[in-house]
Structure 1
C-alpha cells in the first residue's frame, strides 16, 4: 500500500437541508484529504464539524442531502456505492466515536454483547473468538479488569470508562479511518489526557488516519498534526498544528484570544468579532 496516497479524499462536500423557508446549507463546499495522520477540525457550535463527520459516513437523514465532487476512501466513491456496501465500510473501514457514550451505547445490552455484535457484523468469527478479541481490546484501551467490564451495562460505567469502551468498540474491526466527535468534551482533565494518550498510541501503532472534531483549539493544537478551522459551514483556514500561533484569519485569531490564559490573566476576554464576508468567502482547500 502506498502511504503517500490519502486514505480519505473529500472535494467540494456540501450538506443541505430543505426547510419550509428555503434550503439551509450546513456544510458549504469543503475540501480536505486525510493521510495516516491526526487531522483536527475546529469551530464553534453550528460550524458544520459534526455534520462533516456524519456526511462522510452517509448518516445524514432526509430531508438532508449530501453532494460532493469527490468523497472517496482509498479511491472508492462513498457517494455512489450501494447501501449494502456502505454498511460494510461503515464500522469496518471507517468508524466514528460519538460525543457522549451514554447515548451511543445500547442501555439494554451489556458492553460485551455490543462489542461482539460490532465485530461479527464485519467479520466472520465465532462468539468465543469475538469475546476474546473484545476483552483484549478493552485491555488495550487501559481498562482494568476487562473481563468484569465486559459483563457490565452502560449505566454501570463512568463517563471516562464509557468513552474508552466506545473507542475499543470502534477499533475492534481494525478500521483505517477513525472520526472522533468531541470524544473528551464530557470528561474531566485527567481522564481527557488518558483518553488522548490511548488514541495517540493506537493511531501510531495501527497507522490509522484520525479526524479529531473539537471546539477546543488549544487541545487540538497539542494533539493533532494539521488543523482545519471551520466557520458557517466553510473552511476558513488550514495550518500545521505547530504553526497555529502564526494563523492569519481573524476568526482563528479570535478563537485563540478568547481562551483564558492562566499564566497571563486578563480582566476581560476578547469578544469574538464576526465579519459577514467570512460566510460568503470561498472555502479554503485542505487537500494535500
Structure 2
C-alpha cells in the first residue's frame, strides 16, 4: 500500500493573496482576506475560531466555494498548475484523484442507501476505470489500512450500521483510495471521543508517512494541532495572523495566538470554583 513518492524542493501547493468574498446588501464581505502559504509533503495545521475562514480556505483550493462566492488569488497552484485557470473538467479530474477532502462529520457525507464498501469501490472506479472485482479488492485493502477489523463484514454494512469512529475511517479510506498527493481534513475528529480521536490521527499520520502526502489539517483544537502537525497557521477574521513551526508555538508573539494559548486548560492549575449563590460573586459587587 505504500507509495514511494519522492520529496523535493518544489512546493506541492502555493497560495498567494487568496481572497474569498460574498456579495451582501452593504457590499462585498470577505471571508478569506489575503491568505498566503506554501505546502510541501508535510502536515500543515490551520487553527482559529468559528468564522475565521479555515474551512473556506480549504474549499477554495478545490474551487468548492458555493455561489455567489468569488475566489481570487495572485497565485493558487498545485504542483505548478494554476487551479484558478483550470477548466471545470480539469477540476473534476483533480478533485479526489490529486487532492482529496474529508469534510466535517464525514460520516454524514456517506450515501445512506449504499453499502460503505460499494461507496469506497466506486470512488476508486471513478478515478481508475478499474473493474468491479479490482475495485472491491482495493476497497478491502483500504479498509484494512485504516485499521478496520474484518473488512469483509464491514464492506457490506450501511452507514447507519457503523459507529462514528468507524464512519470517520470509512470516509478517510474513500478519500485516500485514489492515492492523492494532498489531503485536506476539515475537523475530521471533532465529533469523536478522545480515544477514537487519537486512533484516527495515528492512522492519518501513518498514511501520510507511507504515501508521502501533504496534508492540511483544520481544527479548533490548538493542542491537538500542535502535537500532530509540522507547521501551524493561526487565522482570525479571514487572515493569517501567525505562522510558525509546531515546536515553536509556545513562543508565539501575536496577541490572538497568546490568548488562545492562555485559554487552554492546564492540569497543574486548580479549576475555577463555581460562585456561591447565597452571595453575589465579586465581579458583580464591583
TM-score w.r.t. the length of structure 1 is 0.91
Q: Which blocks of at least 5 consecutive residues in structure 1 are unaligned?
A: 269-288
Give the match for residue 111 of structure 2: 106
Contact 1:101 1:159 in 2 (8 A): no
C-alpha distance after superposition, 1:214-235 (max 9, x if no partner): 0000000000000000000000
Q: CA deviation at 1:112?
A: 1.3
Q: Which structure is larger by alpha-carbon Rg, 1 or 2?
A: 2
- Kindly state the Cα deviation for residue 2 of structure 1 after the two structures are TM-superposed: 5.8
Q: In the TM superposition, what is the alpha-carbon distance from 1:20 to its structure 2 partner?
A: 2.1
- When structure 1 is superposed on structure 2, of 220-229 and 107-116 the one drifting more is 107-116
- Name the counterpart of 1:182: 187
Paired residues for 1:45-84 under 5 Å: 45-84=50-89
Determine if contact 1:118/1:169 at 8 Å carries over to the other structure: yes
The answer for unaligned runs of 5 or more in structure 2 is 1-5, 274-286
Q: List per-residue Cα deviations over 1:17-71 (Å, max 9, x = no partner).
A: 1122221100001001110100000000000000000000100121101101111
Coordinate RMSD, CA, aligned:
1.1
* 3-state SS, counterpart of residue 84 of structure 1: helix
Q: Give the SS at the match of 2:95.
A: helix
Give the Cα–Cα distance (whole angstroms) in 1 for the partners of residues 132 and 33 of structure 2: 44
Report the secondary structure of 1:91's partner residue. Answer: coil
Please give the secondary structure, in 1, of the residue aligned with 2:232. strand
1:159 correspondence with 2:164: yes
Q: Distance in 1 between matches of 2:125 and 2:33?
A: 37
* Structure 1 residue matching 2:96: 3-state secondary structure: helix
Runs of 4+ in 1 over 6 A off after TM superposition: none
In the alignment, structure 1 residue 146 sits paired with structure 2 residue 151 = yes
Residues 107, 171 of structure 2: 8 Å contact kept: no
Alignment of 1:224-263 (within 5 A): 224-263=229-268
Give SS of 2:264's match.
coil
Q: Count residues with an aligned counterpart.
A: 268
Query: 1:143–1:212: structure 2 CA closer, same or farther, 3 Å change rule?
Result: same
1:8–1:74 contact (8 Å) kept in structure 2: yes
User: Structure 2 length as normaliser, TM-score?
Assistant: 0.92
2:124 match = 119
Q: Decide which of 181, 202, 206 is 2:207's aligned counterpart.
A: 202
Tell me, yes or no, if structure 1 residue 213 matches structure 2 residue 196: no
